Amino acid sequence: MKNSGQIKRGVRLLLSLANIFMICYAFWYVWMSMYHPIIPDPFWNKGNWLLVAVYAIILYLFTKIYSARKIGDWGILEIIYSQMLSIVFVNVLMYLQICLLNRWLVTAWPMVILTCIDFCIVVFWACLAKAIYRKLFPPRKTIMVYGDYDPDGLFLKMNSRKDKYHICEFIHINQGMEKMKEKILQYEAVILCDIPGETRNDLVKFCFDKSIRAYVTPKLSDVILLGADNSNIFDSPLLICKNRDRQREGQIVKRIFDLCLIIPVAIVASPIMLVIAILIKLQDGGPILYKQPRLTLNGKVFDIYKFRSMKIDSENGKAQLAKKNDSRITPVGKVIRALHLDELPQIINILKGEMSIVGPRPERPEIADQYKESIPEFDFRLKTKAGLTGYAQVHGKYNTTPYDKLKLDLYYIEHQSLLLDIELVLMTIKILFMKENTEGVDEWQTTAMKDENKTKNR
């Protein structure tokens, strides 16, 4: 069956509607059989359907934020996890709504039962949807075109999703343009892996002409162009890269958002922080907190606060990132790092205005200097205030290469808005329990740089 974008969208729409219908039907049944009879002033028919419609809308929004219906794009385990997380949020919100309708607290057991039923529905739906999707849309046969930069990293990532990508062949650009075009015509898709701009432009236009799908690794200038505004000078199209710092009004709105969110979080997190502080102190009697100089807006240096998760004097004066199975990490440290609880003292930095809730993660000056030797543009991240979480944290990992982190951070800088900040905060809740996001660098690395000599002039 020929892979058609319209057919794929149609199938995904039907699968998504089936998912929402089954979950909403379960809610309607629980509402009508368990909650409706005990409410003093229950709805009439239209009111009941309106409540189900509200449930469906909230469910749609959360599953969209968490990409919980992207069959074919994400692995089945991530889809199930995202669906379950969405359901927990939606059911908690609807329970609060039902309590408001009752004007007093009602039993939560029906909602607990509903959540269990929903989990079963999600697992069944995800497995069935994946089977249908794979049957209708097998992975495209793909060729990877590469140049001076090693394509192994990208290949390993894409090859881990054999249900989506089937990379059959590699070809180096030194084979020549005609040979590359001849090879590309034999495949359904091509991956252009960090090749020179002139060669890439020719191949992109060739793929467009032949209706061949192209996956392109973007350069920094491409990421900046993604945030450009479209304009026309009479009949000539233009892209406007404003390249300006955030306006004063936007900074004020962001600061208000930070304070409105972080103050309640600080109150709720206080007991947890107290318990962690006691455990750290009991473990080895050392200091509870440690501080490090970090970089924020316009290169300003500030001291970041964290719960100490490593042994005392573990760095011996040399800056280095945490490694996989790092022996310097204490038993308490392993737990709080896995749950990102070691970051909680950064509430202090946010309250002081040194950091924002959302923004590029602040880097240590000495490590940033190492990165700049190979990536002179690394300072682009300093065009906005550093954050507790960010686009690179949500869509990347702890050991993501600095070059890829820079691209992700640049995307955020060019698209930052209050709505994007809210979305990233909600997405952060999702990644808190995803172990791969806290995976350290390899044993031989002191920074996240994979190959320090191969990132210049990209």
379 or 5: which leads in pLDDT: 379
Q: pLDDT of 357-416, one tens digit each?
A: 999 999 999 999 999 999 999 999 999 999 999 999 999 887 788 999 999 999 999 999
Which tokens is 121 given? 């529905």
| Residues in the chain, total | 458
Q: Does the pLDDT at position 152 exceed 80? A: yes
Ramachandran angles phi, psi of 454, nearest 5°: -120, 20
Q: pLDDT of 306-358, one tens digit each?
A: 999 988 776 665 666 666 667 788 999 999 988 889 999 999 999 999 999 99
Segments making up each domain of the chain, as ranges: 5-136, 140-217, 249-438
pLDDT (mean) for 274-291: 92
For the CA atoms of the chain, what is the radius of gyration?
A: 25
CA distance 215 to 151: 13
pLDDT (mean) for 440-453: 49
Split at pLDDT 50, 70, 90, the class of 444 is very low
> What's the confidence (pLDDT) of residue 314?
66
CA distance 54 to 333: 42
CATH no. for 140-217:
3.40.50.2300
Q: Does the pLDDT at position 422 exceed 70? A: yes
CA distance 308 to 51: 47
pLDDT (mean) for 289-303: 94
> What's the confidence (pLDDT) of residue 325?
64
Arithmetic mean of pLDDT over the chain = 89
Contacts of 431 (CB under 8 A, 6+ apart): 393, 394, 437
pLDDT (mean) for 104-125: 95
Q: Does the pLDDT at position 230 exceed 70? A: yes
